[in-house]
Homo-oligomer: A and B are copies of this chain.
Amino acid sequence: MELAPDIEDKIQQSFAAQRMMATLGARLDRIEAGRVAIRAPILDCAQQQHGFGHAGLTFSIGDSAAGYAALSVMPPDAEVMTVEMKINLLAPADGEQLRAVGEVVKAGRRLVVVKAEVFATKSDRTTGIALLQGTMIPL
């Protein structure tokens, strides 16, 4: 599926309006039809008690990547909202940078099933740190 330019603009604008993403230093990395990637450094302000990235950081960019993946396959005037999301944490968010890749599993008229994977990069080594699976609802 081709991604329409107006959909890409809509995602860019929605992302820019999410102050949480700015707080976390997150940036849109790649937008394709049904697949969106978000990158974020592990800022001091998003750390947990041991200096790793907080699970809330991992969840935030994983959920957002999945949500924008859903938005990328919706009609131009639609919005999406997370209904529910499950996250399995595979390893500590240890490193310089995280990357979340969200994908559409099934786009229905009433619900969109999504998944996301989050990776941490530490001096050139990349590790999968989280797996998300959830449901978005078009508004």
Contacts of A84 in B (CB 8 A): 84, 86-89, 134-135
Bound together, the chains give a CA A14 to CA B134 distance in angstroms of 28
A126 part of interface (Cβ distance < 8 Å): no
CB-contact partner of A59 in B17, B56, B105, B106, under 8 A: B56
Q: A56-B56, A84-B88 are in contact. List 8 more A-B contacts (CB 8 A).
A: A14-B49, A19-B45, A19-B46, A20-B46, A20-B57, A83-B135, A84-B84, A86-B87
Once the chains bind, are A111 and B137 in contact (CB under 8 Å)? yes
* A60 touching B56 in the complex, CB below 8 Å, given contacts A105-B90, A133-B86: yes
Once the chains bind, are B57 and A59 in contact (CB under 8 Å)? no
Bound together, the chains give a CA A47 to CA B115 distance in angstroms of 23
Interface of A is mostly: mixed
Min CB distance, A62 to chain B, in Å?
Answer: 9
Would you give the 0/1 interface string for A79-104, flagging 1 where the beta carbon is closer than 8 Å to chain B?
00111111111110000000000000
Contacts of A18 in B (CB 8 A): 47-49, 54
A125 part of interface (Cβ distance < 8 Å): no
Min CB distance, A5 to chain B, in Å?
Answer: 20
Once the chains bind, are B86 and A81 in contact (CB under 8 Å)? no
